[in-house]
Amino acid sequence: MSILVDKSTRLLVQGITGSEGSFHTQRCIEYGTRVVAGVTPGKGGSKHLGVPVFNTVEKAMIETEANASLMFVPPAFAADGILEGIEAGMPLVVCITEGIPALDMVKVHRYLKGKSTRLIGPNCPGVMSPGKCKAGIMVGEIHLAGNVGVVSRSGTLTYDVVSQLTGLGIGQSTCVGIGGDALPGSTFEDILTLFQADRDTKAVVLIGEIGGTMEQEAAEFISSKMTKPVVAFVAGSTAPPGKRMGHAGAIITGSAGKASEKITALSRAGVTIAPTPAEVGLTAKKVLQSL
């Protein structure tokens, strides 16, 4: 098993005909993901990369039974694209787009309440279940199928951690990039809940960073509800306060946003902290050996 995406995933790509959409759709297909539909308003009825294109998400779902959407819509229109997916009842929406205005996401979150859609991202690399389905922009080759779940706020740092794991022969059940924005669709806690329930996930690697309180909420969940071991690294120990470190969410505004506070909360919850970002793989290996 795995979480969120697997062999049964029938992927729809919103913004399939754009340059990023095209490039990554091609790579998802090459990885073995079943891409069943694309949506670009105005291009319905055509085919792109051998995939039928529709004008609306609703129509694409009726025609192709797509059950997950991957979004490459530009930031000014992305919230609208997510809302369209939610309204159509799409079970999973993975939004890659970076730079969506925060108040657009406030609207999206309000609309999500009580709906069945799970949103991953925005500003994320996507979701990957090695050997089964790649719904994102991550490099396929660095992954290895296995039993460690990975959840992260970062993109390239996750690639580095995943290749450390793969290099040590530690495979992954699913790797989830929840994204670098301040208002992510899914939080660490949401994804940890899924990993805890997943039979094939034996341990979890969590990559946090400065800003917000998501790591502290994860720590609370881990200490009260989680039985599986968690290894973590929190990036940004050396970041100055009040500066946005690339990600919209990576800014220290109160003391809770500091890396040290997050590390303390996670350690108290029984999480094993990797001393450096280069040793996350080794730390995970030790934890797995002690199981």
Region binding other proteins by CB under 8 A among candidate stretches 8-16, 143-151, 194-202, 249-257: 249-257
| Interaction between residue 213 and other proteins (CB under 8 A) | yes
| Interaction between residue 101 and other proteins (CB under 8 A) | yes
Evaluate the omega torsion of the peptide bond into residue 122 and state whether it is cis, within 30 degrees of 0: yes
- Vertex 61 angle, CA 9 and 104, to 5°: 90
Our CB check for other proteins shows the closer of 66 and 128 to be 128
Active-site annotation holds for 109: no
Quote the CA–CA distance of 211 and 182 in Å, as a whole number: 8
Quote the CA–CA distance of 101 and 260 in Å, as a whole number: 29
| Interaction between residue 168 and other proteins (CB under 8 A) | no
Q: Is the dihedral of CA 132, 137, 143, 148 positive or negative?
A: negative
Concatenated DSSP letters for 127-168?
EEETTTEEEESS-GGG--EEEEEEEES-SHHHHHHHHHHHHT
- Contacts of other proteins in 218-247 (CB under 8 A): 233, 235-240, 242-247
Shortest CB 264 distance to other proteins, Å:
16
Our CB check for other proteins shows the closer of 60 and 133 to be 133
Looking only at Cα atoms, what is the longest distance across the chain? 56
Q: Which two tokens stand for residue 100?
A: 């969506």
Which residue out of 24, 48, 109, 247 is catalytically annotated? 247
Our CB check for other proteins shows the closer of 64 and 212 to be 212
Pairing of strands 126-129, 172-177: antiparallel
Q: Given candidates 6, 58, 200, 217, which one binds other proteins under the rule CB under 8 A?
A: 217
Our CB check for other proteins shows the closer of 66 and 73 to be 73
Q: Given candidates 31, 72, 159, 195, which one binds other proteins under the rule CB under 8 A?
A: 159
| Interaction between residue 145 and other proteins (CB under 8 A) | no
Pairing of strands 230-235, 172-177: unpaired
Q: Is the dihedral of CA 52, 53, 57, 63 positive or negative?
A: negative
| Interaction between residue 138 and other proteins (CB under 8 A) | yes
Our CB check for other proteins shows the closer of 60 and 178 to be 178
Asked if residues 177 and 138 have their Cβ atoms less than 8 Å apart, the reply is yes
Shortest CB 47 distance to other proteins, Å:
25
- Vertex 153 angle, CA 167 and 158, to 5°: 15
Shortest CB 44 distance to other proteins, Å:
28
Binding site for other proteins (CB under 8 A): 20, 75-76, 99-107, 109-110, 125, 137-139, 142, 152-160, 163, 180, 182-183, 207, 209-210, 212-214, 217, 233, 235-240, 242-250, 254-255, 259, 275-279
Return the active site residues.
Answer: 247
